[in-house]
Each structure stands twice: as C-alpha cells, then as structure tokens.
Amino acid sequence: MDKTFTQAELDQIIAKRVAEEQAKHTKALAEMQADIAKRELAHHTKTTMAAKNLPDWLLEGLNAGDKEAFDKSVSLVERHLKEAYEPYLKKAIDDRLRGTSIPKGTHYQAPPAPDKSEGIRAAMGLQSKG
C-alpha cells in the first residue's frame, strides 16, 4: 500500500533536506575560503621577502599568522637590522671615500652591535628573555 503524505509532512521532509544540503555547501565554501586565504598569505609572504631582499629561511621565525602580523614582524626585523648594521656600513663607506684602506689580508672589523634581541624576539612572537 502506498503511503500518502500531508503537505506539512512534505514541507518538513523538504526543509530537512534543504538544510542538510545548505550545511554541506556552507562547510565546503568555508574550506575553500580558508584555502584561498592560506594561499594568498603564502604568496604575500614570499613576495614580501623577495621584495625586501630577506632570506627565505627567516620566514620560519616570523609571525605569519595573518598578513598584518607578518608585515609588522618584517618591519621590526628590518628596523633592527638597519639599526644594527647601518653604523658599520656608514663607517666602511666613509673610510673607502676618504681613501683609508684596510690592509690586505685583513677584514674590516665591525663594532659590536647593540643587543637588539628583544625587538627580534617580539617580531618572531617569542617571549622576552627577562
């Protein structure tokens, strides 16, 4: 014998199936969006590192959780590297322009760089030493 359904039962069955399909498609869409965001962030990190002439291995230590955090980390690293090495480079350039030569067989000895580890640690999302 054939079962007959009331309009209310049909509406309930259809609503249930529509909700199941919507949930399935919503989940698939969220996964695709997360994958796209991950790929965009990977592209951004690689192009930024290349544009700023920073080595790829440095990326492992930077906070790349999202674009803003990564950009802040890169900015901090750049600033601290510049502060640490700019005096050395300026002195080497000034010596070269003045004609002061470094004796052959020796290398220019850079002055000891100030400890900038706290800034680097912050850029990498690590806790401070103290």
| 71-117 residue pLDDT tens | 998 988 888 888 888 888 888 888 878 876 666 666 656 666 666 66
Higher pLDDT, 123 or 9: 9
For residue 129, is it within any domain?
A: no
Assigned domain for 3 exists: no
128 assigned to some structural domain: no
Residue 40 has pLDDT above 90, yes or no: yes
Within a domain: 72 = yes
CA distance 2 to 107: 96
pTM of the model: 0.52
Over residues 57-84, mean pLDDT: 86
Tokens coding 95:
């010596």
* Token pair in block for residue 78: 């750049």
56 domain residue, yes or no: yes
Residue 106 within a domain: no
Q: Total structural domains in the chain?
A: 1
What's the domain range around 82?
A: 8-101+114-123
Whether 2 is covered by a domain: the verdict is no
Domain-located, residue 77: yes
**CA 5 distance to own-chain centroid:** 57
Distance CA 94, CA 89 (A): 8
